[in-house]
Amino acid sequence: MNKLVALLGFVAFAISSVASEKDKGWQNLFNGKDLKGWKQLNGQAKYEVINGEIVGTTVMNTPNSFLVTEKNYTDFIFEVDLLVESDMNSGIQFRSESKPEYNNGRVHGYQCEVDPSARAWSGGIYDEARRGWLYTLELNPAAKPAFKLGAWNHYRIECIGNSIRTWLNGVPAAWVIDDMTPTGFIALQVHSIGNSKEKEGKKIRWKNIRIQTKNLKPAPFDDIYVANFVANQLSDPEKKQGFRLLFDGETSNGWRSVQADQFPAQGWVIRDGNLTVLSKDELAGKRGGDIVTVDKFKAFELKFDFNLSEGANSGLKYFVGNGGATVGLEYQILDDEKHPDAKNGIEGNRKLGSLYDLIPAEKEGRFVNKPGQWNQGRIVVYPDNRVEHWLNGRKILEFERGGEAFRAAVAKSKFSKINDFAMMQETPILLQDHNDRVQFRSIKIREIK
């Protein structure tokens, strides 16, 4: 009799729990019994239901495998608990697609990373089979310790409009603004292991898989880095962080020629939301020359997108002036594969992202998109003269302006004869005309106090 009462009590509790979840707007995507509502795409990894959990098992010589929802979702809040072996890699696809005309149906789209490795990028956002990394946890190192090895981890993904946010065990991990794919399925990934016999049979487990799709309320503002891929748009979180646009996508407001108070009448064009310096082959007349912002800045964080034509050379300069109006620190913008200057200088200090002719960018730290594709650059200048160069979500160099290593680099460079090179208190931002076609957009800045 006592057992019957206990059983009835448990059933009543389960029913009330389900009702409570529905009252809060949650829908379970997994019934705990079978894979109803899901289907498998691409690889042949094994998916099965064991003890109320979905269990994925690696299989040799098969591509990435995905267990995908039969329904598509647009705006939602998604949660799942997962347990993965420490030597595996996995991910949660969302707003993802599989189309016959794209890579023979390969699953592609946003992925929330599951990364137990020492790199610790769990919770970051990867664009599977498309653009690659959108948000590495180098951009938010405070979230790296959130992943628990050998234990259940709770993931939360919030997609509302163009805003894509992730949390790992309650810690804000990534924030992306993007409009490439507004809707798609959700999928659980078992990553390919190639022909590795040692990794065959590794398992990842998922449970408590649920979603909200109605009456969504964005989570409160988290002051973490925001990676914005919508051209020339200033998102609400970026506004809260103090960013403003230096280029509005339509006019030359805020910019002028280095040589005059007006914007160049030729050599630069504003079209389709891009600020473009023309190549010598496109010019109908003289070059436009370098352009600079009207405003000057001391300590700042600068974000900018750039798109190189094949073989192009350009640069973004700052702390310019004491060696000539166009001379200063330069974030090198270069097609390393096709432009000969990549082989000049010392130890690669003229390659893409380097502090031109002074400090090379880290070779292993660069994610480089090819000419014709957009790259995201970032420069951070702190009040104590520390400076960082970033490329596509990774820090590729850092130095102290005026420090011992900086002065030694200057002494070996073409700037060695300039007294106090680049040591002025404030600076405009300069875009270089090197007679090659380069496009810029989404140029935004915030001052650091």
Write down which residue in 160, 178, 212 finishes a domain. Answer: 212
For residues 346 and 364, give the distance between their C-alpha atoms in angstroms, rounded to a whole number: 17
Same domain, residue pair 181 and 131: yes
Q: Does residue 286 sit in the same domain as residue 158?
A: no
Mean pLDDT over 369-378 rounds to 97
216-230 as b/e: b if 16+ CB within 10 A: eeeeeeeebbbbbbe
Q: Are residues 316 and 178 in the same domain?
A: no
393 within 8 A of 353, measured Cβ to Cβ: no
User: Same domain, yes or no, for 57 and 196?
Assistant: yes
- Point out the domain boundary residue: 146, 180, 212: 212
User: Contact 309/434 with Cβ under 8 angstroms?
Assistant: no
Helix (H) / strand (E) containing 72: none
Is the backbone of residue 364 left (phi > 0), alpha (psi -120 to 50) or beta? Answer: alpha
Both 336 and 428 in a single domain? yes
Q: Would you state the pLDDT for residue 196?
A: 93
If asked whether residues 205 and 237 sit together in one domain, one would say no
Query: Against a cut of 0.85, is the pTM above it?
Result: yes
d(CA 134, CA 147): 19
132 band by pLDDT with thresholds 50, 70 and 90:
very high
Pick 364 or 357 by higher pLDDT.
357
**Residue 1: inside a domain, yes or no?**
no
> Is residue 15, in this structure, part of any structural domain at all?
no
Nearest to 230 by CA among 179, 182, 181: 179
Query: Is residue 375 within 8 Å of 391, Cβ to Cβ?
Result: yes
Would you call 209 exposed, middle or buried from its count of C-beta atoms within 10 A (0-12, 13-18, 19+)? Answer: buried
Backbone phi, psi, residue 157, to 5°: -125, 130
Distance of CA 25 to the CA centre of its chain: 31
Average pLDDT of 213-236? 97
Return the percentage of the chain with pLDDT > 70, whole number.
95
Kind and range of the H or E element at 375?
strand 375-381
Give how many domains the chain has, as a whole number. 2
Whole-number pLDDT of residue 316: 98
Please check the confidence at residue 244 and state whether its pLDDT lies above 70: yes
pLDDT, average across residues 262-290: 93
For residue 360, tell me if it sits in a domain.
yes
Residue 226 within any structural domain of the chain: no
- Domain assignment present for 160: yes
pLDDT 10s digits, 299-310:
999 999 999 999
**Residue 23 has what pLDDT?**
57
Q: What is the C-alpha to C-alpha distance for residues 103 and 404, in angstroms, rounded to an integer?
A: 51
In the structure, what pLDDT confidence band is assigned to residue 396 with cuts at 50, 70 and 90? very high
156 and 55 in a single domain? The answer is yes
pLDDT, tens only, 5-26: 444 444 444 444 444 555 589 9
Statement to judge: residues 208 and 168 lie in one domain? yes
Residue 401: enclosing H or E segment and its boundaries? none
Task: Provide the sign of the torsion angle of the four alpha carbons 262, 266, 272, 278, taken in this order.
Answer: negative
Half-sphere exposure of 259 (CA within 13 A, CB side): 8
Reply yes or no on whether the pLDDT at 384 is more than 90: yes
Q: Give the CA angle between residues 345, 346, 347 to the nearest 5°.
A: 125
Report the alpha-carbon distance of residue 120 to residue 127 in Å, rounded.
17
In a domain, 125, yes or no: yes
Looking at the predicted structure, is the pLDDT value of residue 320 above 60?
Answer: yes
- Is the per-residue pLDDT at 99 higher than 60? yes
What is the Cα Rg of the chain in Å? Answer: 25
Q: Residues 180, 252: one domain?
A: no
Residue showing tokens 């389900």: 18
Confidence class for position 400, pLDDT limits 50, 70, 90: very high
Assigned domain for 433 exists: yes
**The pLDDT value given to residue 364:** 85
Exposed (0-12), middle (13-18) or buried (19+): which is 373, by Cβ within 10 Å? Answer: exposed
Q: What is the CATH number of the domain that holds 29?
A: 2.60.120.560
Same domain, 288 and 365: yes
On whether both 129 and 271 belong to a single domain, the answer is: no
Cβ atoms of 147 and 122 closer than 8 Å: yes
* Helix or strand (DSSP H, E) at 66: strand 65-69
β-strand partners of 111 = 93, 126
Domain that holds residue 158: 21-212
Residues 208, 243 within the same domain: no
3-state secondary structure at position 146: helix
d(CA 252, CA 293): 10
**pLDDT, average across residues 70-96:** 97
Instruction: Please say if the pLDDT value at position 436 is more than 50.
Output: yes
Burial call 384-412: b when 16+ CB within 10 Å, e when fewer: eeebebbbbbbbbbebebeeeebeebbee
Predicted confidence at residue 22, as pLDDT, reads 59
SS3 15: helix
Q: Which of 163, 182, 212 is the last residue of a domain?
A: 212
Residue 284 pLDDT level (bands cut at 50, 70, 90): confident
CA angle 304, 391, 239 (to 5 degrees): 40
Whether 5 is covered by a domain: the verdict is no
